[in-house]
Amino acid sequence: MFKSFSFLLQPFALLILSLCSSHVFSETSSVIRLATTTSTQNSGLLQSILPQFEKTSGYQVHVIAVGTGKALKMGKDGDVDVLMVHAPSAEKQFIHDGFAIKRYDLMYNDFILVGPDNDPAGLSSAKTAQEAMSKLIHHQALFISRGDDSGTHKKELTLWQQPENLPENKWYREAGQGMGKVLQMANELNAYTLTDRGTWLSAKNKLTLKIVFSGDPALFNPYGIIALNPQRHPDLNHKGAQAFINWLISPKAQQLIGEYRVNNTPLFIPSADSAQVAESNL
C-alpha cells in the first residue's frame, strides 16, 4: 500500500529538495545581483571597475540598471542582493521602514541643466536652480523629464514650485526613460532637461546641447550603496553583497572611482567615510 502512494510523495519530495537547494544556493552563490541607477551604467563606471572586483573576489556582479525608485522596489521585494542609488530621502525612508540595515557613502557628483545652444529661456543668467526652473515655466520652454521615479526625477520634482501641475502643461513631457535616452530626446527636440554630470560627460560629444545652469548646492548628487536586511529576505546573497560593499568603499576601489575619466574629466568623486571602512571590516 505504501508503495502505491510513492508516486504522490515524489513531487512533494522534489519540491522540498528544490526549496532547500535554492536556500543553499543563495548563501553560497557566486552571483551578486546589483540594482543600480542608469547613470552609473550609462557613464561607463561599472564596466570599468567591476572586472577588478570579479577577478579578485570570485564573485560575478549582474547589473540591473533602472531608476532609483524601481531599484528600491526591487530591494523591497527581495529581487536583488544590493542597491546602488542616489536619492537620499528615499534611501533614508527605505532604511527606516526596515528594508535595509545600512547605507554607505560611495561617491558624488552633481546635477546640471542642459538645453539648446542658444538657451531661449535664458537659464544661464539664473542665480539659483529654482530661478532657472522658474524661467522654464515663464518661457514655457520644452522640458523633457525622465518621469520614471529615478533619483534624477526625484531631484527635478524638488526644484519646481508646483510639481503636481506640471503634467498639465504641453511644454512638459515625461519620457519614462533612462538618462541616456532622455538626453537623446532633448537633443532631437531642442529641449531642456536635468541630468547627472556623469551621464552628460559620457554623452555630450554626441549631442548639440550645452550646459545652461550648474553649481547650485541644491544640485548635489550623492550616491550610496545599501545592504539589505537579512531578516526581511534571508535567502538573498548577503555575504556576497557585503563583500561587494566592503570592496567598493575600500581605498583601492575608491581610487578607481576617482581615477575614472571620460575625455580626461573625472565623472565621480569618491566619498567613502574611513569610519565606515573600518566598521565594515570588523
212-248 CB burial, b ≥16 within 10 A, e <16? bbbebeebebbbbbbbbbeebbeebbbbbbbbbbbbb
Q: What are phi and psi of 209, to 5 degrees?
A: -70, 165
Residue 83 belongs to what H/E stretch? strand 82-85
In the chain, how many domains are there? 2
Asked if 237 and 276 sit in the same domain, the reply is: yes
Q: Do the Cβ atoms of 225 and 84 come closer than 8 Å?
A: yes
Asked if 120 and 260 sit in the same domain, the reply is: no
Note the pLDDT of residue 274. Answer: 58
Asked if 62 and 74 sit in the same domain, the reply is: yes
Q: What are phi and psi of 174, to 5 degrees?
A: -95, 125
Q: Any idea which of 7-16, 67-76, 162-171, 206-215 has the lowest mean pLDDT?
A: 7-16
Asked if 121 and 197 sit in the same domain, the reply is: yes
In a domain, 6, yes or no: no
Cell of 265: 574629466
pLDDT band at 132 (very low <50, low <70, confident <90, very high): very high
Note the pLDDT of residue 28. Answer: 57
pLDDT band at 251 (very low <50, low <70, confident <90, very high): very high
Q: What is the CATH number of the domain that holds 276?
A: 3.40.190.10
Asked if 86 and 124 sit in the same domain, the reply is: no
Note the pLDDT of residue 275. Answer: 56
Q: Do the Cβ atoms of 270 and 60 come closer than 8 Å?
A: no
In a domain, 209, yes or no: yes
Q: Residue range 92-106: average pLDDT?
A: 96
Residue in the block written with cell 540591473: 64
- Tell me: pLDDT of 201 over 70: yes
Note the pLDDT of residue 203. Answer: 93
Q: In the chain, where does DSSP find H-type helix? A: 6-28, 38-42, 45-57, 68-77, 88-96, 129-139, 151-159, 179-189, 197-203, 238-248, 251-259, 274-280
Reported as half-sphere exposure (CB side, CA atoms, 13 A), residue 115 has a value of: 22
Choosing from 169, 186, 219, the residue where a domain stops is 219
Asked if 66 and 206 sit in the same domain, the reply is: no
Asked if 138 and 38 sit in the same domain, the reply is: no
- Tell me: pLDDT of 20 over 80: no
Residue in the block written with cell 534624477: 152
Choosing from 219, 252, 268, the residue where a domain stops is 219
In a domain, 24, yes or no: no
Q: Residue range 12-21: average pLDDT?
A: 44
Note the pLDDT of residue 181. Answer: 95
The length of the chain in residues reads: 282
Domain that holds residue 128: 111-219
